[in-house]
Amino acid sequence: MPPQEISKLWVMIIDEYQDIENIEDFYDYVTNTWIDDDALFDYILWNYYDFKSSTTNNHLEGCHHRLNNDLNNVVHPHFYLFILAIPNDYAYNSPISSRHLATGILPPRKKWIQHIDIL
């Protein structure tokens, strides 16, 4: 949401859900920590409305997916199997990292991700 709309929306939320029993402490916490002008965390730290880069953890999900595949999707793999999977992960990421360090250019994003960024 646009930063200038944060306080307005928060007031609307409080008005909409004021009937919840014992909710005032929660509202005070959120207001003092995230919403007020003198909040503990300025909105610049958590509001990504104007952020032009990735706002998701999809790249981490991709790494996790590859690692799970290397471990044959075992929920709790033996530690030794995990250690054996690390070189595969390194072999995948090392050329990408080296290319990025040498050229400053990241691999192109998939077209469907580029489309999401436009929306």
Q: Which two tokens stand for residue 100?
A: 């990025």
Residues 36 and 74 in one domain: no
Q: Which domain holds residue 78?
A: 58-118
Q: Examine the pLDDT at 5 and tell me if it is beyond 90.
A: yes
Assess whether pLDDT exceeds 70 at residue 80: yes
Give me the number of domains the chain comprises. Answer: 2
> Is residue 52 in a domain?
no
Structure token pair of residue 80: 């030794």
Contact 39, 80 (CB under 8 A): no
Same domain flag for 74 and 97:
yes
Is the model more confident about 107 or about 16?
16
Q: What are phi and psi of 96, to 5 degrees?
A: -65, -45
In the numeric block, which tokens belong to residue 107?
């691999």
| Contacts for 35 with CB less than 8 Å, ≥ 6 apart | 6, 7, 10
- Within a domain: 81: yes
